[in-house]
Amino acid sequence: MKSILKPLLMVAAMAMGMTAAGTLPALALVELNVNKGNVEPLPIAITDFQGGDALGAQISQIVTADLKRSGLFAPIDKSAFIEKITNPDAAPRFDDWKVINAQALVTGSVSKEADGRIRAQYRLWDTFAGQQMSGEQFFANDANQRRVAHIIADAIYERLTGEKGYFDTRVVFIDESGAKNARKKRLAIMDQDGANVRYLSDGKSIVLTPRFSPNRQEITYMSYESGQPRVYLLQIETGQRELVGNFPGMTFAPRFSPDGQKVIMSLLRDDGNSNIFAMDLRSRSTTRLTNSTAIDTSPSYSPDGSKVVFTSDRGGRAQIYAMGADGSGQTRISFGDGVYSTPVWSPRGDLIAFTKQTGGEFQIGVMKTDGSGERILSSGFQQEGPTWAPNGRVLMFFRDSAGGPKLVSVDLTGRNEQSIPTANFASDPAWSPLLE
């Protein structure tokens, strides 16, 4: 058994066999190869979880929405179901699910424990092999019911694709409201599907460019509350805030190093040049990494911390460059037409996402770490600021349309674009690592 302890949340997961029904966990025949160029969504049936009044249906709906939004699964309409599941602990009638082409089936239940917690359990079935693929149960308090659904969706995603899911995550962003010439900007955080929005600032001063720390509970952002750009560290759960420093010449928001001990940023110094510096958060000492007469900006660490990608116009227009984390070996890696900005290294280490402006369009794309294999995933009038899901399969960015920016996600195929619901306009998203 593994247990996860967070403020106001305890989730325990236990593998569940089917000895009572005579079915044992086995290697499934059904699987998704997500590394193929064209992935056909897998037909999957997700039944309403039994018990818990309406809660069972709510958990089922969240799991269904998560998997559908990934673009890798095609949930079957419940009106097509033949068998009505009344005992989720018993093996289903597999023929009833094969006839509607449900290659995988999810059943489950929800119950209330004596101590007030809810218990949610699920089983994942391979209908054509007639076998249970996985089964777990989770415990949580009422405030974390949605998290349980996201964790179940992650478990199903991982079992069928072989890769970690990304549903039990959060996104920090800038909530924008009011008239365009007097826009109120608040720091906000939400679940990756747009639910559970919480505001982290009051909107009295402009806040910009939030970024998550690898420790998951801390973000860095810029604020103009003093009239000058200041960088803060904010503990999300406690609200404790710490000033990193005053950076009047900052040209782009800082990003954390993978170990969370440094931030890297672009600063405009007295010599008029914009160069890249790394700051040690413990000593507050800074180290200059570039020393050019050009504009060097938008730095982002590789996931192992050994390299940095950034943009520079030292060649005449902004292109993408890579260097060692100590500033060594600065090398241009992009050679396409247009202007490149906001490069971000994938958490998998295999790709770099970027914004590209060319031909009057803003494009969101990816390239390999040596600059080869450039692919455009989305084009629009004005869109920018990609951020990676923690499994490196999906990007989120913001697009300005109909009077203000809104959040959008797209997967690496470029064919599964999704709008992220927010109450107001929203910009500059940053995706968290998986919660624990």
Residue 253 pLDDT exceeds 90: no
pLDDT tens track for 131-167: 999 999 999 988 888 999 999 999 999 999 999 999 9
pLDDT at 16: 58
Q: Which one-letter DSSP state was computed for residue 50?
A: B
Cα–Cα distance, 143 to 380 (Å, whole number): 38
Please state the length of the chain. Answer: 436
pLDDT at 34: 61
Residue 21 pLDDT exceeds 60: no
pLDDT at 195: 95
Containing H/E element for 232? strand 230-235
pLDDT tens track for 260-287: 999 999 988 777 778 999 999 899 899 9
pLDDT tens track for 75-94: 999 999 999 999 998 999 99
pLDDT at 3: 34
pLDDT band at 435, cuts 50/70/90? confident
pLDDT tens track for 81-128: 999 999 998 999 999 999 999 999 999 999 989 898 999 999 999 999
pLDDT tens track for 315-369: 899 999 999 999 999 999 999 899 999 999 999 999 999 999 998 899 999 999 9
pLDDT band at 303, cuts 50/70/90? very high
Which residues on neighbouring strands pair with residue 223, listed in sequence order? 207, 230
Q: Which one-letter DSSP state was computed for residue 182?
A: G
List for the chain the helix, strand, coil content (%; round to 5): 10, 45, 45
pLDDT at 254: 85
Structure token digits, residue 382? 């004005």
Give me the mean pLDDT over the 6-15 stretch.
Answer: 42
Where is pLDDT greater, at 11 or 47? 47
- What count of Cα atoms within 13 Å lies in the side-chain half-sphere of residue 247? 28
pLDDT at 33: 65
Give me the mean pLDDT over the 237-252 stretch.
Answer: 80
Closest CA relative to residue 386, chosen from 435, 425, 351, 422: 351
Residue 12 pLDDT exceeds 60: no
Residue 64 pLDDT exceeds 70: yes
Structure token digits, residue 348? 């998998």
Residue 26 pLDDT exceeds 50: no
Sign of the dihedral defined by the CA atoms of residues 303, 305, 306, 310, in that order: positive
pLDDT tens track for 182-225: 889 999 999 999 999 999 998 888 888 899 988 767 898 988 88
| H-helix segments, 51-122 | 55-69, 94-98
Which residues on neighbouring strands pair with residue 278, listed in sequence order? 264, 287
pLDDT tens track for 369-378: 999 999 999 9
pLDDT at 280: 92
Cβ pair 242, 236 in contact under 8 A: no
Cα–Cα distance, 384 to 341 (Å, whole number): 8
The mean predicted confidence, pLDDT, of the chain is 88
Sign of the dihedral defined by the CA atoms of residues 63, 68, 74, 76, in that order: positive
pLDDT band at 259, cuts 50/70/90? very high
pLDDT at 4: 34
Give me the mean pLDDT over the 366-394 stretch.
Answer: 95
Structure token digits, residue 61? 């709906």
pLDDT band at 2, cuts 50/70/90? very low
